Amino acid sequence: MQIDRQMISNRSAAVIADVFAIADVFAIAKVLMITGAFVLANVFTIAAHADETCNSPYMSGLIKGQEDYVHVWTLGVPGLGDGSDKLVTIDANPASKRYGKVIDKVSVGGRGEAHHMGFTDDRKYLWAGGLDDSKIYVFDVGTNPSHPKLVKTIDDLSAKTGYAGPHTFYALPGRMLIGNLSNTADRGGVTGLSLYNNKGEFIAKYDMPTTAITTAANATSTAGKKTVTGDGYGYDIAVNPAKNALLTSSFAGWNNYMRDLGEVVKDPEAMKHFGNTMVLWNLKTMQPEKIFAVPGAPLEIRWALAEGQNWAITATALTSQLWLIERDARGRWQAKDVAAIGDPAKIPLPVDISITADAKGLWVNTFMDGTTHYFDLSDPQHPKETYSKHTGSQVNMVSQSWDGRRVYITSSLLSKWDKTGKDNEQFLRAFNWDGHELTPTFEVDFTKEQLGRPHHMKFSADQKRVASLVDAAVR
């Protein structure tokens, strides 16, 4: 089984190599997008969001000092350890004797394409989703963050909504808004958002728009172009409460993300099924208000949340651009590409991004060339790359501490999209960042440790000098 998979993956790698051998892939992709075929070598993507600076702004207990632990939601690999998806906890405090070591792992007893996770608003629980089986696992990380416990499994997402592939878990007060990737009817990319309360009870669903929107906000589309029609695809979620604004992005459905990458690339029909839009929602009414054309699978969304800032940023995986979603002087929301990431012609595949706490800088990982980039966002209209470093043969997630001094990187994209052979490195690498250079601090080899493919990261910290109401009352 493992050998077959290896052979298939090797074929995929060869196909990708062929694709990359085309001298001007990006130009071809542009033509294809213009003609509507959109058969770009547009493929390999999906990232995640991570870090402290990118958590829901309503969450309590943001860690603004040294994090104690990094939790890594890890895809199981057949024949490696118990083969199950698992939450891996690594000691990340340099003052600890266990610094850089795996101190805990909680298997969920199956393999469902572990991918992303998100804290509840009180940071007591971590919800983690499976893109294949659509299950959601709830871990208690508040009681003892060094030893999370699986306390609940939510398995009614598809039955309640018809959606599949829970991706983004975004804390709202007392509830969790989930951005999904797919649906159960045709396993394509048309999907929606689902809402659960913190007890894990389903509340509501919201379909991603598949038609043009007729609201006043949408009447004047980006740069005066014709009104954009929704493609129904989903991916990330990001909220700005001061503006009553919710932004969503778009990727692809189960048929693509659970299929061997090489096969997807070779299938012109499959290549048509990637998201090309972002949607602005009215957060209070949960109605879509405007659809932006953002070609090439816009993924992670990050708001600049400081007073006076009126923008969010995203990266398109397939076209390798940074896009700014900004409210203009007339109060209209617009989207425009503001910078290239690496050389788009080489299809570096930007995946995860991580914005600094002051929104003046942005980390971007590009999967194919294994590079970690830093952009100066002082002028969000003109982001400027000021640093880059080769950090692995394949890199996906990037998470930074609130103070920006520590940066963590993991390697895995998707079980069927990761590289193969010696390039299939599976690691978490930690770095210090002094504003000029990423300096390695520790590394965990997830293959050697028999863990799996590391994906999404979240931080936690011991709660020192606090007692529960009961403990305080009885002492």
Partner 1 sequence: MLGSLMAARGAPWVGQACRMLSLAVMTGFAAVAGATVDPGKATAPRMEFAPPPPGSYKLQNIQRVSDAVLLDSAGQAVKLSALTQRKITLLTFFYTYCVDPLGCPFAHETLGQLRDRVRADRRLARRVRFVSVSLDPTHDTPQTLADYGREFAVDPTFEWRFLTARRVPDLLPVLDDFGQDVSVETDENGRATRTLHHMLKMFLIDAHGEVREIYTLAFLQPRVMFNDIETLALEGD
* Contact positions vs partner 1 (CB under 8 A): 57-68, 93, 121-124, 172-175, 195, 197-199, 201, 203-204, 241-245, 282, 284-287, 307, 461-475
In terms of Cα–Cα distance, which of 46, 58, 181, 210 is closest to 119?
Answer: 58
What is the distance between the alpha carbons of residues 461 and 68, in angstroms, rounded to a whole number? Answer: 5
Q: Check if the beta carbon of residue 170 is closer than 8 Å to that of residue 116.
A: no
Q: Which one, of 184, 234, 235, 226, lies nearest residue 209 by Cα?
A: 234
The encoded tokens of residue 185 equal 């009817």
**Spatial distance between the Cα atoms of 275 and 210, rounded to a whole number of angstroms:** 12
Minimum CB separation from partner 1 for residue 408, in Å?
16
Q: Which residue has the tokens 């829970």?
A: 166
DSSP states along 260-323:
-HHHHHH-HHHHT-S--EEEEEETTTTEEEEEEE--S-EEEEEE--STT--EEEEEETTTTEEE
Least Å distance between CB 466 and partner 1?
4
96 vs 393, which CB is nearer to partner 1? 96
Lookup: tokens for 295: 């070609």
* Residue whose CB is less far from partner 1, 44 or 125: 125
* Residue 68 vs 369, nearer CB to partner 1: 68
Beta strands in 84-147 (DSSP E): 86-91, 102-107, 114-119, 125-130, 136-140
* 424: Cβ contacts below 8 Å, ≥ 6 apart: 393, 394, 418
Nearer to partner 1, 280 or 364 (CB): 280
Nearer to partner 1 by Cβ, of 14 and 204: the residue is 204
| Alpha helices (runs of H) in 155-299, residue ranges in sequence order | 157-161, 216-219, 254-257, 261-266, 268-271
Task: In angstroms, give the least distance from the CB of 456 to partner 1.
Answer: 21
Nearest approach, Cβ of residue 361 and partner 1 (Å): 18
Beta carbon nearer to partner 1, 36 or 65: 65
The helix/strand/coil state of 99 is coil
Cβ-based nearer residue to partner 1, 40 or 280: 280
Shortest distance, CB of residue 276 to partner 1, whole angstroms? 27
The minimum distance between CB 138 and partner 1, in angstroms, equals 13
Q: How far is the CB of 262 from partner 1 (least distance, A)?
A: 43
Q: Which amino acid is at 131?
A: L
Looking at the Cβ atoms of 63 and 150, the one nearer to partner 1 is 63
Residue nearer to partner 1 on the CB measure, 114 or 176: 176
Rg for the chain, CA atoms, rounded: 21
Which residue is associated with the tokens 């969000």?
380
